[in-house]
Amino acid sequence: MNNVQFHIGEVVANNTTYEYSDEKNFEIRVITYTDFYNRRDIRAIPYDNNIKKIPAVGEHVLLICGLSQENTKDSIYPQWYYASSFSVNSDANDNKLSNYVKSDSEITGSINLTTKQVSWLQPFSGDLMFEGRFGQSIRFSSTTKQKYSSPPTWTGQTDGDPIIILSNGRKFENKYVVENLHEDASSLYLTSTQKIPVLLGDKNNRNPLSCYAPTESSYERSQFIGVADRIILKAKTDIAVIDSPRGIVLNTTGEVKIGNDEANISLVHGDVLLNILQKILNQLSQPIQCGTAQGTFINRTNLSTAQNELQNLLNSKYFITKDTY
């Protein structure tokens, strides 16, 4: 291979792109137009097989000629590779410029791209962003105090402090948008020093932290925040552990069920039970009136023992919200 070869071309239908192969996975078919009067029909595979973006039919790609797995020191068997598609329409979802080239042998019945309106993320200086076609993204960003048309939803004291945001599903707006913890379908935030506007409870019944300062929206140290309509954490073969040196809060305006979702035996309010048992012991300690005679229990050992043990009924570490039917 004496000369480095490049081509640009349009992706056309190929019935093997999404089928598994032992040799050439993710292969696309491209009609080149580098030389407009000498177009070529080329099969190409990804330039990078670990990070790939499979272009849709009608999108345009850069092709690079390189070595194939059949190459030896004595013979050359070239293989074409495709880099990412061109942002012809500057669109997150669809960058087709279809029918720029024609092919008499074009295969029909291809898998077509599902198109939808998707907003671009607002870039901030220094960001590294991966944006999918359908409104999902991973942002490697930082605290910034500079002014942007759509400001970040996080704040912090020191520019450059890192933050990672994984977001899935956003409503379309005809402008740059920023991830929103409560409006995006699901989110995962890894922070360092940023404040995140977390609202606990639901929109009709807020349930903010009140005993543990700082509050959920003013905390300025590292956080792991996940938000979705439903969250399931499952340990496959061993225990699940939530560990904290300060405290664990199960925060809900609904019910807490232990065992399974059919649990229907109520937990006891410890302070109420303590008060009831104390009254019973006090009553049993009083003299017993029988006609004109009075007396007490002959053996009061169990009564005294119960009175002493009653002081250990309440736990100093585990608490529940007092709630009655």
pLDDT tens-digit readout, 264-312: 998 899 999 999 999 999 888 888 878 778 877 777 888 889 988 998 8
Q: Which two tokens stand for residue 203?
A: 């929109």
Give residue 289's pLDDT.
Answer: 78
Q: Is 129 strand, coil or helix? A: strand
Give residue 323's pLDDT.
Answer: 78
More confident residue, 73 or 39: 39
Sign of CA dihedral 68, 71, 73, 76: negative
Q: Is 268 strand, coil or helix? A: coil
DSSP letters along 59-75, please? -EEEEEEEE-TT--SS-
Q: Read off the pLDDT band of 102 (50, 70, 90).
A: low
Angstrom distance (rounded) from CA 260 to CA 188: 27
Q: Which two tokens stand for residue 90?
A: 């500057």
The helix or strand, by DSSP H or E, that contains position 295, with its residue range, turns out to be strand 293-295
Cα-flanking dihedrals φ and ψ of residue 190, to 5°? -115, 110
Amino acid in position 6: F
Indicate the average pLDDT of the chain. Answer: 89
Give residue 322's pLDDT.
Answer: 80
Res 66 pLDDT > 70? yes
Q: What percent of the chain has pLDDT over 90?
A: 56
Give residue 103's pLDDT.
Answer: 47
Give residue 16's pLDDT.
Answer: 86
Give residue 107's pLDDT.
Answer: 42
Q: What CA–CA distances, in Å, run from 47 to 5, 17, 68, 113, 191?
A: 14, 15, 12, 21, 33
Cα-flanking dihedrals φ and ψ of residue 269, to 5°? -75, 110
Amino acid in position 323: D
Contacts of 251 (CB under 8 A, 6+ apart): 200, 201, 207, 209
Whether this model's pTM surpasses 0.75: yes
Q: 158-194, pLDDT tens digit by residue?
A: 999 999 999 999 999 999 999 999 999 999 999 999 9
Q: 143-162, pLDDT tens digit by residue?
A: 999 999 999 999 999 999 99
Angstrom distance (rounded) from CA 176 to CA 131: 13
Give residue 77's pLDDT.
Answer: 83
Q: What is the mean pLDDT of residues 112-140?
A: 94
Cα-flanking dihedrals φ and ψ of residue 273, to 5°? -60, -40
Q: Of all residues in the chain, what percent are helix, strand and coil, respectively (each to 5)?
A: 10, 25, 70
More confident residue, 282 or 101: 282
Q: What percent of the chain has pLDDT over 70?
A: 95
> Given the DSSP bridges, would you call strands 78-85 and 41-46 parallel, antiparallel or unpaired?
parallel
Q: What is the mean pLDDT of residues 219-235?
A: 96
Q: Range with the lowest mean pLDDT among 3-7, 64-68, 231-235? A: 3-7
Give residue 105's pLDDT.
Answer: 44
